């Protein structure tokens, strides 16, 4: 279990002299969560919590994958899963089931709601009664239709620093781009035209983690998802989380520090909840999100799992070509820094 001083040191790295104030508010959130969940007072440590292994099968699905007339899709999905897959699949990863405006759910309008077109939280809970649940935390950006962003546009003081505004004349040529779209999007605000940072699209406005208010809101969200039954939380597009002009803005030390902080908070509040980072990058960069290694107790200080995307296409290639050579060569090339590391293989 990470100490209070460990968390404060992370906050000092991120927020300098403001770390003390941020810690005071973060500690209040942690204390409140623990008081509302007294079962956590047991002696279970993160290392004693259940880990995944090769016997676990996780099904990834959209909430509306199965539909019936006059019935919420999540209810139809839940019945199908319970009837057909209860003894086969251990965990259900429902892709973003929140209200959204684009990108198949990855432009979230409200992090705390279930899309009414799919159903409600009671339907998520019903699935969670038979399976472990995996939620997406789409926290690099938020929809332009979200309350936070609309409040920013209207001049609400609280939200003026929730997003990243940059003069378009600034040299951003070092920034690594996942998509061939404009990095800055011009918008009309209460205070005139501004250019906001949009890594993925003009409908996905990047959040400003240099503002501790954003981090505290997202920590609240992580605890909310945990309270709603998440046993695995997927950190979507986490590599691009922190922006610093003059750098590549990918895999920055501050980004890793935020992941360490999330892990530390969850270790204290919900040690059975696992983090997985979604980073579609080369292997050496993927495994950096395990963080530091503690061989004494077989643990890391960032995510417990990281994605390995190549498996699915390589399996298809093996079937198509009738040859497993490429698949075997890739498997043999995987270098796990420690035997207790967990790679998550997926077609998403």
CA distances from 1 to 34, 52, 314 (A): 14, 20, 39
Mean of the pLDDT values across residues 240-253?
97
In the prediction, which pLDDT does 103 show?
96
Mean of the pLDDT values across residues 305-318?
84
Relative to beta strand 305-308, strand 342-345 is parallel
pLDDT tens track for 34-46: 998 876 544 444 4
Statement: residue 48 has pLDDT above 50: no
217 pLDDT band, cuts 50/70/90, is: very high
Residue 126 makes CB contacts below 8 A (sequence gap 6+) with 74, 75, 78
232 pLDDT band, cuts 50/70/90, is: very high
pLDDT tens track for 133-160: 999 999 999 999 999 999 999 999 999 9
In the prediction, which pLDDT does 39 show?
64
Q: Which of 236, 294, 332, 335 is catalytic?
A: 236
- DSSP, res 165: B
CA 187-117-279 angle, to 5 degrees, is 60
The CB-based long-range contact list for 213-221 (8 Å cut-off, 24+ gap) reads 213/158, 213/161, 213/162, 214/162, 215/14, 215/22, 215/258, 215/261, 216/22, 216/25, 216/26, 216/29, 218/137, 218/139, 219/26, 219/29, 219/261, 219/262, 219/265, 220/29, 221/111, 221/112, 221/137, 221/139
Active site residue 156: no
Note whether 318 and 298 are within 8 A (CB). no
- Which phi and psi (to 5°) does residue 41 adopt? -75, -5
Report the distance separating Cα 176 and Cα 165, nearest Å: 18
Residue 36: count of CB within 10 angstroms of its CB: 11
In the prediction, which pLDDT does 341 show?
65
Q: Which residues of 274-294 are buried (b: 16+ CB within 10 A; e: fewer)?
A: bbbbbbebeeeebbbbbbeee
Three-state secondary-structure class, residue 257: helix
How long a stretch of residues is the chain? 348
Note whether 249 and 290 are within 8 A (CB). no
Residue 265: count of CB within 10 angstroms of its CB: 20
In the prediction, which pLDDT does 59 show?
94
To which H or E segment does residue 82 belong?
helix 73-84
Residue 297 makes CB contacts below 8 A (sequence gap 6+) with 47
pLDDT tens track for 150-190: 999 999 999 999 999 999 999 999 999 999 999 999 999 99
Report the distance separating Cα 294 and Cα 2, nearest Å: 12
CA distances from 111 to 43, 105, 135, 139, 224 (A): 32, 11, 11, 9, 10
pLDDT tens track for 257-290: 999 999 999 999 999 999 999 988 887 888 889 8
Statement: residue 1 has pLDDT above 60: no
Statement: residue 47 has pLDDT above 90: no
pLDDT tens track for 70-117: 999 999 999 999 999 988 999 999 999 999 999 999 999 999 999 999
């Amino acid at each position: 279990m990470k100490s209070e001083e460990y968390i404060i040191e992370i906050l000092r790295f991120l927020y300098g002299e403001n770390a003390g104030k941020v810690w005071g508010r973060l500690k209040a959130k942690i204390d409140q969560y623990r008081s509302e969940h007294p079962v956590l007072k047991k002696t279970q440590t993160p290392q004693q919590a259940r880990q995944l292994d090769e016997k676990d099968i996780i099904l990834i699905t959209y909430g509306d994958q199965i539909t019936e007339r006059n019935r919420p899709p999540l209810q139809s999905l839940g019945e199908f899963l319970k009837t057909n897959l209860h003894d086969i699949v251990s965990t259900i990863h429902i892709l973003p089931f929140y209200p959204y405006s684009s990108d198949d759910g990855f432009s979230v309008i409200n992090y705390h709601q279930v899309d009414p077109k799919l159903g409600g939280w009671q339907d998520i809970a019903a699935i969670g009664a038979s399976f472990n649940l995996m939620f997406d935390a789409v926290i690099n950006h938020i929809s332009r239709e979200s309350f936070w962003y609309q409040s920013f546009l209207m001049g609400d003081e609280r939200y003026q620093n929730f997003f990243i505004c940059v003069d378009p004349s600034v040299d951003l040529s070092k920034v690594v781009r996942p998509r061939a779209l404009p990095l800055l999007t011009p918008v009309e605000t209460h205070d005139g035209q501004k250019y906001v940072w949009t890594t993925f699209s003009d409908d996905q406005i990047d959040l400003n983690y240099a503002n501790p208010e954003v981090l505290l809101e997202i920590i609240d969200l992580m605890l909310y998802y945990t309270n709603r039954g998440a046993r695995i939380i997927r950190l979507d597009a986490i590599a691009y989380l922190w922006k610093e002009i003059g750098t590549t803005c990918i895999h920055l030390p501050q980004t890793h520090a935020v992941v360490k902080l999330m892990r530390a908070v969850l270790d204290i509040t919900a040690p059975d909840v696992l983090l997985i980072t979604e980073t579609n990058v080369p292997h050496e960069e993927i495994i950096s999100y395990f963080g530091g290694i503690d061989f004494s107790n077989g643990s890391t200080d960032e995510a417990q799992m990281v994605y390995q995307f190549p498996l699915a296409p390589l399996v298809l290639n093996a079937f198509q070509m009738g040859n497993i050579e490429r698949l075997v060569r890739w498997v043999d090339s995987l270098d796990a820094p420690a035997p207790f590391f967990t790679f998550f293989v997926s077609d998403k």
